Amino acid sequence: MRNTLVPLALCMMLASCEKHAATVVEAPSVESATAPPAGDSPLLFRVMREGGGGIDATINQVSPKGELSFYATVPGTGEKALDKPCDTGQRFQAEPKVAAFLRGPTQECAARVEFMLYSTQATLQFIRRGDDASAGGDLLVAQSNYGTAADRLQYAEPEKAQRLRVLSTVAAGRALGVTHPVQGAGGAEQPTAEFEDRVRLFQKQNGIQQTGELDGRTRESIGRMKLRGNDVVVPPAANTGGLPANAAAVAAAPALVVTPQAATSAIEVRMNTTQMLAIPASPQTAALIHANRAKAGH
């Protein structure tokens, strides 16, 4: 079966990513310390990059309205200590000074505020894998890679992340047998009630909190589904990690068997390279595009 999801055409942000892509290694997320600053203890900012090591960055304070203002500079070691603590309620965001890494989520005030910045090249590899899987009709792989790329881009390129999330939703919905996974058009597509109900059923079968949302754990579980003939068998409670209290009941439930849906004009996601590149890129993404085009001789 060949899926007809329109690919993102690989180079949504990079013209020659296949020649210069880095090895994709999923880095663990880093959360800031939850304990509030104590007394006059100095504030420590720590900015790490995917793959290990520190990175020089600008630390901006984020106002309640989302406005940014300069707060500190972190050198290439990835650490910067200040002589005074931050105030409760303050939020910060790290902006990398090099184009090869993406801006991440904000972090709350703490004695030590830490950031993990994802590699742009590695993120582009997830998009490329999603495109390749989509073109080959592999819905299970496509939904996982598009969703992962969307999670990584949501703070640096939110509009691109939204389009990737739509592609992930459509692929996952079709794999689960949903006729109409999304509704709306023009970048405003949203999951349908049909899709959310099917995801809740899948989550129940797999011991996942029943939110109806296509979160990372749900995408991972969908990616482990198996093909049987022309149907997809969703194994119950497949490698759930920490099992819930009713794990025995969940594990005993029968597998959900669905028939993946072919694309129809009603749910076709129409995007192309021109439309994607029309969305303004962040400074670091634009610089990376320019650098790699120069390397490729374009």
Residue 122's pLDDT is what? 93
Residue 63 belongs to some domain of the structure: yes
Residue 17's pLDDT is what? 38
Residue 16 belongs to some domain of the structure: no
Domain range holding 111?
Answer: 44-118
Residue 48 belongs to some domain of the structure: yes
pTM over 0.85: no
Residue 79's pLDDT is what? 96
Query: What is the rounded distance in angstroms from the CA atom of residue 97 to the CA atom of residue 233?
Result: 46
> Count of domains in the chain?
1
Kindly tell me the sign of the dihedral angle through the C-alpha atoms of 8, 11, 14, 17.
positive
In the chain, the amino acid numbered 27 is A
Six-digit token string for 234: 């969703």
Residue 226's pLDDT is what? 66
3-state DSSP assignment of residue 90: coil
Residue 87 belongs to some domain of the structure: yes
Query: What is the rounded distance in angstroms from the CA atom of residue 199 to the CA atom of residue 197?
Result: 5
- Read off the pLDDT of residues 89-98 as tens digits, 9 standing for 90 and up: 999 999 999 8
Contact between 90 and 109 (Cβ < 8 Å)? yes
Q: E-strand spans in 128-268? A: 182-183, 190-191, 226-228, 231-234, 256-258
CATH of the domain at 67: 2.60.40.1120
Residue 238 belongs to some domain of the structure: no
Residue 214 belongs to some domain of the structure: no
The low-confidence residues of the chain, meaning pLDDT below 70, are 1-40, 226-298
Would you say how long the chain is, in residues? Answer: 298
Residue 32: partners with Cβ closer than 8 Å, 6 or more residues away: 107, 108, 110, 112, 113, 114, 115
Residue 206 belongs to some domain of the structure: no
In the chain, the amino acid numbered 270 is R
Residue 24's pLDDT is what? 37
Q: Where are the alpha helices (DSSP H) in 176-243?
A: 193-205, 216-223
Residue 80, φ and ψ in degrees, nearest 5: -145, 120
Residue 40's pLDDT is what? 56
Residue 16's pLDDT is what? 36
Residue 57 belongs to some domain of the structure: yes
Residue 140: partners with Cβ closer than 8 Å, 6 or more residues away: 133, 175, 222, 223, 225, 232
